[in-house]
Structure 1
Amino acid sequence: MILLQRIYIDPGHGGSDTGATGNGLNEKDIVLDIGYQMSVYLRENYEGMYRRMSRTDDTFVSLQGRTDDANSWGADVFISIHVNAFNGSARGFETYIHTSNPTGAANMQSVMHPQILDEMHAFDSSIPDRGAQTANFHVLRETQMSAILTENLFIDQTDDAALLQDPDFIATVAAAHAESVAEYLNLTPIDNGDDGDGEEGFTFQHWDGSIIRHGDQGDHVEELQQRLVDLGYSLPQFGIDAIFGAETAEAVRTFQREAGIGVDGIPGPETHEALENHSNTFAFQHWDGSIIRHGDQGGQVEELQQRLVDIGYNLPQFGVDGIFGTETAGTVRNFQQEAGIGVDGIPGPETYRALQR
């Protein structure tokens, strides 16, 4: 089983708590922007992790609520994002871990602090390094995992505030947070096909160009079945058994219908070409093809919830908790309605295919 790292992103303040203010800016807005962009950057560039945010909109969450949520979720790291204020003249970047100086937090700080500062210096080399420090902050003290708090410039200082209003600077700071925590956790970068050679699509290795018919067996059938499963089409009864029967034919028929080609359940040249060219930008790692039902728990539910959150659906009460309950079912129902598929709140093969697309 793949063990995924859990990254808890905590944009400070929110709602009635504006945080620091200055130059017409509110801390709560800036840090939410950094936190959200950090989460998206991780999603698009790294694999092997889940992300959870203490808030995804302008909502007040208590300090206790943030640390309780991170602890109950089982986060591996906690990153609390802030901007500073003092007297209108102080500038710079600083980070904090708890005064007890736990090894994990210290190691994380030693990676994240210099990397984020280096990226800031690409915009303004005069930004002071206020140091990697310790403090007895609640979110550092009460979290049960390696935790760090970043203070990203001073909102009440003119030069710093100008940077905090620059969308490119905010995107750079968010990416620096993401890349540095990814380095600390040793996350695997996603191959986005940007190595200059162009992205190679899928190519059948065993198919000889002939039409596959009922009862055919062998590697070419097995490869066809594997490709269908990889694209989210389910073979629940027999699975990948290298035998072309009614179940595989039905999966082919479903693919043909959704691909907009002739629907006959027979995989000939047109179907194989469509299977090779089919774009599948997201792949579920834990789903085994079965229907998820109320009360189910585990990695496949957590992955489903994370996918829903990533594409813009909210789970405000329980979040990504790995339990399929009423809130997740309602969110699935909303997605199904907007995707134009059957609306029943039950994530089966059709819903998974739509989520992959």
Structure 2
Amino acid sequence: MAKFKVLIDPGHGGKDPGAVDNGILEKDIALKVSLGIKARLEATYEDVQVLLSRSTDVFLELKERTNKANGAGADILVSIHCNAGGGKGGFETFRYTSASANSVKLQETLHKAIMSKLGGIDRGQKAQNLHMVRESKMPAVLTENLFVDVAADADRLKQASVINAIIDGHVQGIATYLGLKRTKEDKPVTQERDINVPSKWAETTWKEVTDKGFFDGTRPGATVTREELGTVVSRLLKYVDKKG
């Protein structure tokens, strides 16, 4: 059983498209981002289960959404939206007007992580009397991910790299807030070489210098000390003298 439960709420859906402009429906972006967060968070981190208020294009009342989160005993709730009517556009987050200290911490952590990935205009961390952050019994934040009615933002929302940045920002923020551990460490894979076997590219040369007595043929892959190098130079000088 997962140690942490995260409720991701894709805003709007079904008969409620949310904000619509520049060929973008808010409900579609919200669902795409939410599904991405669930897949990436569960694949990358241990002990976390991501629940979705909706996983398809269906309509849910606001109360149904918070009831799902409260009934599931979610540790945090993040509601995903796009914005409209914002002039120059940008990114912003919301908590409840009298939010708990943990909600404030979640907002700060999420906001910072998403902005670091997304870039652009930072409209700030705000407080508002919104149902999703008011009626949830756990730390809750609502994110407004760019403006569909601002041409520059709309163009960005049509780019897969920007959607990925939004997803990654949410994943990083949630993982940081909950203190999640990665499923595996990102360490480079190294292979120990056998020092007694010459590398393929050096086989011919190694045989040549061994046949001429510069090396004794042992440990071709080992490092050379200064005194061993001195021995090789001495042998080389004797070889040159013979040839002279």
The interval holding the TM-score normalised by the smaller chain is 0.7 to 0.9
Structure 2 residue aligned with 1:273: none
Unaligned runs of 5+ in 1: 122-126, 200-357
Q: Please give the alpha-carbon distance, in whole angstroms, between the structure 2 residues aligned to 1:158 and 1:191.
A: 40
TM-score, normalised via structure 2 length:
0.76
Deviation at 1:118, TM superposition (A): 1.3
Matches within 5 A, 1:9-158: 9-86=8-85, 89-121=87-119, 127-158=120-151
Structure 1 residue aligned with 2:187: 195
Structure 1 segments of 4 or more deviating over 6 A? none
Q: Which has the higher contact order (CA 8 A, sep 6+)?
A: 2
SS at match of 1:107: helix
Percent of counterpart pairs with the same letter?
38
CA RMSD of aligned residues (A): 1.4
Deviation digits for residues 83-114 of structure 1 (CA, Å, limit 9, x no counterpart):
00006x33110000000021010011111101
Deviation digits for residues 248-267 of structure 1 (CA, Å, limit 9, x no counterpart):
xxxxxxxxxxxxxxxxxxxx
Q: Please give the alpha-carbon distance, in whole angstroms, between the structure 1 residues aligned to 2:190 and 2:60.
A: 45
TM-score, normalised via structure 1 length:
0.52
Q: Please give the alpha-carbon distance, in whole angstroms, between the structure 1 residues aligned to 2:64 and 2:79.
A: 13
Larger-Rg structure: 2
Q: Please give the alpha-carbon distance, in whole angstroms, between the structure 1 residues aligned to 2:149 and 2:2.
A: 43
Q: Please give the alpha-carbon distance, in whole angstroms, between the structure 2 residues aligned to 1:78 and 1:3.
A: 16
Matches within 5 A, 1:1-357: 4-86=3-85, 89-121=87-119, 127-191=120-184, 194-197=186-189
Q: Please give the alpha-carbon distance, in whole angstroms, between the structure 2 residues aligned to 1:107 and 1:198.
A: 39
Unaligned runs of 5+ in 2: 192-244
Q: Please give the alpha-carbon distance, in whole angstroms, between the structure 2 residues aligned to 1:33 and 1:168.
A: 13
Q: What is the letter of the counterpart of residue 90 of structure 1?
A: K
Query: Is the Cα–Cα contact under 8 Å of residues 2 and 49 in structure 2 kept in the other structure?
Result: no
Deviation at 1:3, TM superposition (A): 6.0
Q: Please give the alpha-carbon distance, in whole angstroms, between the structure 2 residues aligned to 1:9 and 1:198.
A: 38
Query: Is the Cα–Cα contact under 8 Å of residues 112 and 173 in structure 2 kept in the other structure?
Result: no
SS at match of 2:162: helix
Give the count of matched residue pairs: 191
SS at match of 2:164: helix
SS at match of 1:108: helix
Q: What is the letter of the counterpart of residue 8 of structure 1?
A: L
